[in-house]
Amino acid sequence: MNVHVSSDQLGIRDIEQPKRRGIRFTLNGVLWVLQALFGFFFAGSGFGKVLMYDAALYAAAPQAVAWYAAVSQPLIVFIGICEVLGGVGLILPAMAKVKPVLTPLAAAGLTLTMILAAAFHIVRGEYALVPANLVLGGAAAFITAGRWRLRPVAPGNITTARMVGSFAVLIGIVLLTFVPTWYTMTNAQF
């Protein structure tokens, strides 16, 4: 351990403490963690709704998710597409630094989606589902504020490393969310 001791002309000693190593929480780091977690969550959740384009899945879905019976098939698929695009939009534009302003816009769109979902569940009397909408919407709103004003991502040049990283994230989303969701929904008995 290196400790630096210095004294000024009056003889007062100043001891500089060594820099601590470990986990350092920064706003930028917290935003990246939230973007990754909620990006994968929304992409996976949305993909499950996109799969409702299949009439057989749509017919069986209300047994697993009651509110599906109150919403038309095209609307469920549209909500799913919005969630998939929003989830991908939370990660890729900021990561690739290509049009990073799309990240807070994607988060704002997901915030609006969750506000509308909470209102829908309140109207239907499904109060148990509202806290999840509020948590998801609150996280998306935090990302919106964080990436819009507090810690925006500056646009950058397209590099091979950024493109490879973005491609790896897309592969991760497909393998970790789309494939399990597709498998579960097409092979599970409701």
Judge if pTM exceeds 0.95. Answer: no
Average pLDDT, stretch 47-67? 91
Retrieve residue 114's tokens.
């969750």
Would the pLDDT of 1 be above 90?
no
Percent of the chain with pLDDT over 70: 86
Write down the pLDDT at residue 185: 86
Q: Evaluate whether 100 touches 94 at the Cβ level (below 8 Å).
A: yes
Grade residue 178 by pLDDT with cuts at 50, 70 and 90: very high
Grade residue 64 by pLDDT with cuts at 50, 70 and 90: confident
* Cβ neighbours of residue 142 closer than 8 Å, sequence gap 6 or more: 31, 34
Q: Does residue 41 come out as left (phi exceeding 0), alpha (psi in the -120 to 50 range) or beta?
A: alpha
Rounded to whole angstroms, how far apart are CA atoms 34 and 40? 10
Grade residue 37 by pLDDT with cuts at 50, 70 and 90: very high
Write down the pLDDT at residue 180: 92
Rounded to whole angstroms, how far apart are CA atoms 127 and 97? 39
Would the pLDDT of 189 be above 80?
no
